[in-house]
Amino acid sequence: MSAVTPPIEAAARPAGRRALWALPLWLSLLFVLGVIVWAQRNDRDEREELRKTMISDALSLEAQLRDRVDEETARLTALAGQLRAARPEPGALGAQPEVAAGLRRLWLSVTWLDPRNRIIAHVPERSPVPQPAVASPQDEPGLSMHLVAPVGSADAPGGMLVARFAPAVLLRRGVPWWLARKYDVQLVDGFDQVIASTADSASRARGDSYRVSFGPSLHDTYLQLTQREAPLPWFRTLPLVLIGGFLLLIGVATALLRRQMHQVMNAEASWRSEAAWRGAMEDSALVGLRARDDQGRLLYVNRTFCDMVGYRADELIGRSPPMPYWPPDAIDEVMWRLRRNLAGQAPREGYEASWRRRDGRSLDVMVFESPLVDANGRQIGWMGSIVDITERKQLEEREHRQTETMAHHARLTMLGEVASTLAHELNQPLMAIASYTTGITNSLQRSGQPDPVVMGALERLGQQAAHAGRIVQRIREFLTRREPQHEACELNQIIRDAVALLQRELQRRGVAVEFALDPALPQVVADQVLIEQVVINLVRNAADALATQAGERRIQVASSPVAAPDLAARFVRIDVVDNGPGIGGHGIETLCAPFYSTKRDGMGMGLAICRSIIEAHHGAFDAAAAPGGGARFSFSLPVIAHANAVLSAQEEASS
Ligand code: ADP
C-alpha cells in the first residue's frame, strides 16, 4: 500500500505487551512484600526493646522490695534484741512500741516463741469483734509470709520472734503506680503458686513475663512481671490495614486497567484490519486515487494510479506541481487547470486530461475531483478519482474514422447513382435532339435551297448532341463497369456491424434497436459493403422517422429464411421495422423514385440506391405499413446455392 497512513505492522503485538496491564499489580505486590518484611522486623525490634525494659523494671523493683523486706527484718531483729533483755511474759511483747509501729506498717501479727516453740506472747491478741475503722495490713486477705528473728544468742537461746506479714500489702505499697499499670506484678513460690499479685484474677495479663528470684530475704520466692498489654502482632497494626486497603484498590485498578487495555487492543485490532481492508480495496480498485493538499502537493496515491502513470508511490508522494506525468508541451494548460481545480471549480461531471506515462506513451484520463476532509471535518485538499479512458478514446477515434469513411463511401455511391440516373435521363433528350437535328437537316435538303449558315449550325448542333451523347454513354459505361464483389457472407453479422456503426447516433437520438435474428440463417452471396450500406440506410431512415416521435423509439431488425414450396429455403429476408409515423400509404414505387424526399435536407436517392443494389443481387425490395403502426422496409437475397445457380444461368445466357 502506498498511502500517507502509517504502515501497518503485520505481526500481532508480542505477548509481553498483552501482559503489560499486570505490571502495576506486580510492582504493588513487591512493594507490599517489602512493607510486610519491614513491619515484621520492626515488630521484632519493638518486642525486644519491651522485654529489655521489663527485665530492667523487674530487677529494680526486686531490689526495692528486697530492701523493704530487709528493712522489716532489721526492725524485727532490733525488736528481738530489746526482748532479750525483757522477761519472757505475755505482756512484754505488746508493751513494745516497735510492735505497734510494725503492725501499722506491714505486719499482720508478731509471735514470741520460746526455744521449744511454745508461744510466749502473740500480738495482736485474737479479738472476736473486728475493728474496721482504718485499713490495716491485718485486713488484707490472701497468703501471708513470715519474718523470723532470734531473741537469744547462740550460747543463751531465748526463742524467736516471728512476724507474719501480707505480701499483697508489700506489693501494693512497694510497687509504683506506673509500674503496676504497665505490669502485673506477682510474687510466686517455687511451685508457681501465686503468693500475691497487683492484679485481681479477672484481669490477668497475657503478655510476656519475666521472673527474678527474691534472694535470701524471702527464700524460694520470685518476683514475676507480666506485661499487661501484649503488643499487637504486626499483622494487626494499622499500617497493615492500610496496606490491605491499598492492595484492594490496586486490585480494582488493575482489573479496570486490564479491561481498558482489552478495549484498546480490540480497537487497535479492528483499526488494523480496517486499514488492511481499505488498503486492499484501494489497491484492487480499477480507479486511480490521488489526494492533494490545497497547494497541489501529492499526499496519497493508490497502486492503480501508480500503474497508470508508471511512477512508484514514493516517487510521487510529497511532490509539488509540475508533476512528472504532465505532458511537457502542455504544462501551462495543466497549470491553469490545477489552479482552477484547487479553487474548487473543477467540473462536477469530471474533466478529461491527457497525461504522459513514464515510458513516454500518452494517457487519456477522466478526472473527478471531490473535497478531501480530515477527521475533524476540515477540508485539507482534494481527492481525485481517475479513470483511464485511453482505450475508449482510441475506439472512439477509430469509430469516427470508420463513420467518415462510410459516409464518404455512401456519398460516392450516391454520386454514382445520381450520375447514372442523370445519364439515363439525359440520354433520351440527347437522342431526341440528334434525331430532330438529322430530321431538320434532311427536310431542308429536300426543300432545295438550304441556307448554308443554318445547315452549318444544324450540322454543329448534331455534332454537339452526338458528342454529349457519347459523353453520357461513356459515363454510364464507367458507372456500370464496377461489378459487385459477390462472396459468401453471413447476413446476421452484416446487420450487427451496420447497427454498431450507427450505435452512437442511435443512442444520442434515444432509439432502441432490437434484434430478432435467426441464428440458423443460411449464407448468401453478396457484396458485403453494399448490403451493409442498404441496412445502414434503412436503419437511419427509420431513426429519422422516429426523431419526431414523443414516446418510445424502437427499431426492430429481423432476419429469417423464406420458406420455399420445396421446403429448401431459397431466399433470406431482412425486415427493418419501426414504430414511427409510417409511410402514409405511399407505395414502394413512390418511395424509391429518384429525388423523392419528405425531409428538408433529404436528397431522395437513398431508397432508390437500396433498391438498385438489392436488385443487382437478384433480390427483392419492398416497403409496407408495420402491423402496429410505423413502417416496415424489407429486402430478400438468394441463399448461396440458389444464387450460384442463378449466376451460372446468367453466364450461360450471356455466352
Ligand atoms: P431521403 O432520406 O434523402 O429523404 P430516401 O430515398 O432514403 O431519401 O427516403 C425517401 C423518403 O421515404 C423519405 O424522405 C421519407 O419520406 C420516406 N421514408 C423512408 N423511410 C421511411 C420510414 N422508415 N418511415 C417513414 N417514411 C420513410
Nearest CA to ligand 1 atom 13: 597
- Centre of ligand 1 to C-alpha 576, Å, is 13
Helix, strand or coil, per DSSP, at residue 481: helix
- Centre of ligand 1 to C-alpha 421, Å, is 18
Q: What is the pLDDT of residue 267?
A: 92
Q: Which residues of 370-399 are buried (b: 16+ CB within 10 A; e: fewer)?
A: eebeeeeeeeebbbbbbbbbbeebeeeeee
Q: How far apart are CA 635 and CA 222, in angstroms?
A: 149
| Ligand 1 atom nearest residue 633's Cα | 23
- Stretch (H or E) spanning 224: strand 221-227
| Ligand 1 atom nearest residue 630's Cα | 24
- Centre of ligand 1 to C-alpha 583, Å, is 8
| Ligand 1 atom nearest residue 602's Cα | 3
- Centre of ligand 1 to C-alpha 607, Å, is 7
Q: What is the pLDDT of residue 42?
A: 86
**Does the pLDDT value for residue 328 go beyond 60?**
yes
The closest of 126, 67, 121, 63 to 96, measured between CA atoms, is 121
- Centre of ligand 1 to C-alpha 484, Å, is 25
Structure-model confidence comparison of residues 83 and 515, the more confident one: 515
| Ligand 1 atom nearest residue 596's Cα | 10
The best mutation among 513, 533, 591, 611 to test binding of ligand 1, ranked by most ligand atoms within 8 Å of the C-beta, falls on: 591
Distances (CA, A) of 334 to 294, 321, 322, 360, 398: 16, 10, 9, 17, 27
The closest of 121, 108, 107, 112 to 75, measured between CA atoms, is 107
pLDDT confidence tier of residue 7, bands split at 50, 70 and 90:
very low
Beta bridge partners of 334: none
Q: Which residue pairs, CB below 8 angstroms and at least 24 apart, start in 302-309?
A: 302/1, 302/2, 302/3, 303/1, 303/2, 305/386, 306/2, 308/355, 308/357, 308/363, 308/365, 308/386, 308/388, 309/355, 309/357, 309/358, 309/363
Q: How far apart are CA 538 and CA 494, in angstroms?
A: 13
3-state secondary structure 293-314: ECCCCEEEECHHHHHHHCCCHH
Pocket of ligand 1 (CB under 6 A): 541-542, 545, 578, 580, 583, 591, 596-599, 602-608, 631
Contacts of 287 (CB under 8 A, 6+ apart): 304, 385, 386, 387
pLDDT confidence tier of residue 579, bands split at 50, 70 and 90:
very high
The best mutation among 538, 578, 607 to test binding of ligand 1, ranked by most ligand atoms within 8 Å of the C-beta, falls on: 607
- Centre of ligand 1 to C-alpha 597, Å, is 6
| Ligand 1 atom nearest residue 607's Cα | 6
Q: Where does residue 373 fall: left (phi above 0), alpha (psi -120 to 50 degrees), or beta otherwise?
A: beta
pLDDT confidence tier of residue 202, bands split at 50, 70 and 90:
low
Nearest CA to ligand 1 atom 20: 541
The best mutation among 554, 588, 589, 597 to test binding of ligand 1, ranked by most ligand atoms within 8 Å of the C-beta, falls on: 597
Distances (CA, A) of 63 to 59, 67, 144, 222, 223: 6, 6, 20, 12, 10
Nearest CA to ligand 1 atom 8: 604
Q: Which residue pairs, CB below 8 angstroms and at least 24 apart, start in 326-335?
A: 326/355, 326/356, 327/354, 327/355, 327/356, 327/362, 328/356, 330/354
| Ligand 1 atom nearest residue 542's Cα | 23
Which tens digits make up the pLDDT trace of 516-559?
Answer: 999 999 999 888 878 988 999 999 999 999 998 888 999 999 99
Q: How far apart are CA 402 and CA 404, in angstroms?
A: 5
- Centre of ligand 1 to C-alpha 591, Å, is 7
Q: How far apart are CA 215 and CA 616, in angstroms?
A: 162
Which tens digits make up the pLDDT trace of 370-384?
Answer: 988 888 888 889 999
Q: What are phi and psi of 110, to 5 degrees?
A: -130, 130
Contacts of 237 (CB under 8 A, 6+ apart): 39, 43
In degrees, to the nearest 5, what angle opens at C-alpha 588 toward C-alphas 417 and 506? 75
| Ligand 1 atom nearest residue 578's Cα | 23
Torsion, Cα 505 509 510 516, to 10 degrees, reads -50
- Centre of ligand 1 to C-alpha 239, Å, is 112
Nearest CA to ligand 1 atom 27: 583
| Ligand 1 atom nearest residue 537's Cα | 7
Within 10 angstroms of residue 179's Cβ, the number of other Cβ atoms is: 17
| Ligand 1 atom nearest residue 603's Cα | 3
Residue 245 C-alpha from the chain's centroid: 41
Distances (CA, A) of 91 to 75, 76, 77, 123: 20, 17, 19, 9
Residue given cell 503485538 in the structure block: 13
The closest of 248, 87, 51 to 159, measured between CA atoms, is 87
Which tens digits make up the pLDDT trace of 439-459?
Answer: 998 988 888 878 888 888 888
* Pair type for strands 554-562 and 512-517: parallel
Q: What is the pLDDT of residue 355?
A: 93
Q: What is the pLDDT of residue 582?
A: 93
User: What sign does the CA torsion over 199, 201, 203, 204 have?
Assistant: positive
- Centre of ligand 1 to C-alpha 514, Å, is 21
- Centre of ligand 1 to C-alpha 601, Å, is 11
| Ligand 1 atom nearest residue 598's Cα | 14
- Centre of ligand 1 to C-alpha 503, Å, is 20
The answer to whether the CB of 22 falls within 8 A of the CB of 321 is: no
Structure pTM?
A: 0.41
- Centre of ligand 1 to C-alpha 537, Å, is 9
Question: Residue 635, class by beta-carbon neighbours within 10 Å (0-12 exposed, 13-18 middle, 19+ buried)?
Answer: buried
| Ligand 1 atom nearest residue 605's Cα | 6
Percent of the chain with pLDDT over 90: 30
Nearest CA to ligand 1 atom 14: 597
Q: What is the pLDDT of residue 574?
A: 97
Contacts of 308 (CB under 8 A, 6+ apart): 288, 355, 357, 363, 365, 386, 388
Q: How far apart are CA 237 and CA 514, in angstroms?
A: 100
Which tens digits make up the pLDDT trace of 109-147?
Answer: 999 998 888 888 888 875 444 444 445 555 555 678 888
Nearest CA to ligand 1 atom 22: 542
- Centre of ligand 1 to C-alpha 542, Å, is 8
Which tens digits make up the pLDDT trace of 240-256?
Answer: 777 788 888 888 888 88
- Centre of ligand 1 to C-alpha 585, Å, is 13
Q: What is the pLDDT of residue 506?
A: 92
**Which amino acid is located at 479 in the chain?**
L
Nearest CA to ligand 1 atom 26: 583
Distances (CA, A) of 170 to 74, 108, 163, 231: 16, 12, 14, 29
**Does the pLDDT value for residue 205 go beyond 60?**
no
Average pLDDT, the chain: 84
Q: What is the pLDDT of residue 568?
A: 60
Nearest CA to ligand 1 atom 19: 541
Which tens digits make up the pLDDT trace of 602-616?
Answer: 888 889 889 988 988
As given in the structure block, the three cell numbers for residue 101 are: 509501729
**Does the pLDDT value for residue 647 go beyond 70?**
no
DSSP state string for 345-401: -S-TT-EEEEEE-TTS-EEEEEEEEEEEE-TTS-EEEEEEEEEE-HHHHHHHHHHHH
Nearest CA to ligand 1 atom 11: 597
Distances (CA, A) of 155 to 77, 84, 119: 17, 13, 21
DSSP state string for 145-190: EEEEEESS-SSS---EEEEEE-HHHHHHHHS-HHHHHHEEEEEEET
In degrees, to the nearest 5, what angle opens at C-alpha 129 toward C-alphas 128 and 135? 125
The closest of 575, 571, 591 to 583, measured between CA atoms, is 591
Q: What is the pLDDT of residue 5?
A: 44
Distances (CA, A) of 418 to 383, 475, 627: 59, 11, 34
Which tens digits make up the pLDDT trace of 90-104?
Answer: 788 888 888 889 888
- Centre of ligand 1 to C-alpha 494, Å, is 22
Q: What is the pLDDT of residue 590?
A: 93
